[in-house]
Amino acid sequence: MLKDLGVKPYAFPMPVLLIATYGDDGAVDVMNMAWGGVCAENMVALNIDEGHKTSRNIKQRGAFTLSIADVAHIEAADFFGIASGNKMADKFERSGLHAVKSTHVDAPVVQEFPLTLECKVAELQHTVYGFRVLGEIVNVLADEKVLDEKGKVDPTKLNAFVFDQFQSGYYAVGEKVGQAWKSGAPLMKK
């Protein structure tokens, strides 16, 4: 029996995305967010509060990187969602992670994260639903250790985790349970 839960942001899984930007002083800022993702073949959409330091940095630099963290770096990834760059000047340094400048956009690449999308701002939107950043993906970086023999990202090697809106948990992902555009094919023959 289905139970009515009312209006909740219940979608599962929610990606754990790490947005990295440079501040006015060139300092690295990283923010953990779940309200965003791929919205077109070469585009991402980020729904973030305009009061975040990350929002200000994106407006000023016109660029950001968007990374997927792995389970090995869950502590730092979660910390980036707890600590505010507006209140903690040494936020990135406390994480113990390392960053280098992207060669494609004016934003940092966190070296420990296994998958990073390098993005330039395509549009900043102010709507009744909040502040949204549309970013054009100009390049994707992947650690060689997460690639298969054909050079494609292998999700089982990525060791990513997702956020659950229900109980605020993180869950590791990676077990393949089907093949897109094939698992449902037998129903086409009915």
The pTM assigned to this predicted structure is 0.93
**3-class SS letters over 56-73:** HHHHHHCEEEEEECEHHH
pLDDT for the residue numbered 14: 87
Domain boundaries, the chain: 14-185
CATH number assigned to the domain covering 14-185 = 2.30.110.10
**3-class SS letters over 83-140:** CCCCCCCCHHHHHCCCEEECCCCCCEEECCCCEEEEEEEEEEEEECCEEEEEEEEEEE
Question: Over 80: is that where the pLDDT of 190 sits?
Answer: no
AA identity, residue 143: D
CA angle 95, 169, 173 (to 5 degrees): 85
Contacting residues for 38 by C-beta, under 8 A, at least 6 apart: 44
Give per-residue pLDDT as tens, 32-73.
998 899 999 999 999 999 999 999 999 999 999 999 999 999
Residue 160: strand, helix, or coil: strand
Give per-residue pLDDT as tens, 79-107.
999 999 889 989 999 999 999 999 999 99
pLDDT for the residue numbered 10: 86
Give per-residue pLDDT as tens, 111-122.
999 999 999 999
17-22 and 43-47 strand pairing:
unpaired
pLDDT for the residue numbered 100: 98
Chain centroid to CA 35: 9
Give per-residue pLDDT as tens, 134-174.
999 999 999 999 999 999 999 999 999 999 989 999 999 88
